[in-house]
Amino acid sequence: MRKIALQISPEVRTAYFADYLDVAETELAQVTGFKPEEFVQFGELEFFLLNCPEERDEELLKLSFVQGLFEIGDGSYFPLNKAFEYQLHRDFVFGSKFKGKTNERLTQLLLNVGLSVIDCPVGEPIRLLDPMCGRGTTIMWGMQYGFRCKGIDREEAALEDIVRNTKKWCKVHRTKNKFERGALGDKKRRNSPRYLDATLDGQRARFVTGDARKPSEYFGSEKFNLIVSDLPYGIQHFGDGDTRNPLGLLSECAVSWREVLAEGGAVVLAFNKKQPKRGQLIAAFENAGWTANEFNAPHRMSESIVRDIVIFTS
């Protein structure tokens, strides 16, 4: 079998700091089943080496930590001229920076590990919901992957921020686009939830200003294969009311998200390990009938926050 080297993107250091190699290895194992046979460093360049058949290359190329693949022969590294074919320019995910943005590499990892556990009918588009989507990093990744995407965030300013951030890249990259705004339900009521429909080069997403606990109110009978979110950390983002701990909110979400999950679907959450504690979060979801997967990837992301990831299936 071919021996290959996966080049580790330096970008993952800004997502996971000291823990980046552990997180990368965890993603590799969860998504592909491979374990690195060796870790190799040439100066600043870093690689995992493994034996792998060519037909697995596409899977490897879309791992969130992989910058490129090399084939190894006679001790030399030959770069493979291959890349995963994303639907949009990378700037739609990476280009805009804003307060509270979830790291782009972490967000791609959340989608990848989610994809590794779901069971979805072949030929049908994957439906993704981020019920606390902020300015849409998860949703932009979903569009890159060709998913049908929906996002909810309670911040009213988010919709116009998304339009501004996205239009900028449409202009730069001459991407065909359409943005439509409106109100759900009784349009005459001043507090009807507002929505934004964005179509970028044929990729569609809807964003709603609303409450993460109420997806079926906004999307009717639509069912989602993946519910993915980076939860409020309780420091910059408050869960609800005055509380810094989003556990109460999440216990309610654990109930209402079951109603919108497609058969074979999964929930993937990134969360601040201090609040809620992993055990409390799992208990809240198990009480609502979910099963927690063993996957975890704890990593320090800042002085005060250690983040982890949990996957639930129904």
Residues forming contacts to ligand SAM in the complex (CB under 6 A) are 100-102, 132-138, 152-155, 211-212, 230, 232, 237, 239-240, 249
- Closest-CB residue for ligand SAM? 134
Judged by beta carbon, residue 31 or residue 228, the one nearer ligand SAM is: 228
Beta carbon nearer to ligand SAM, 133 or 301: 133
Smallest gap from residue 125 Cβ to ligand SAM (A): 21
| Shorter beta-carbon distance to ligand SAM: residue 3 or 237 | 237
In the complex, minimum distance from the CB of residue 230 to ligand SAM, in angstroms, rounded to a whole number = 4
Beta carbon nearer to ligand SAM, 9 or 138: 138
Which is nearer to ligand SAM, 136 or 265 (by Cβ)?
136
CB of 226 to ligand SAM, least distance (A): 14
Least distance between ligand SAM and beta carbon 152 (Å): 5
For 73, list phi and psi in degrees, rounded to 5.
Answer: -145, 135
> Shortest approach of ligand SAM to residue 97 CB, angstroms?
10
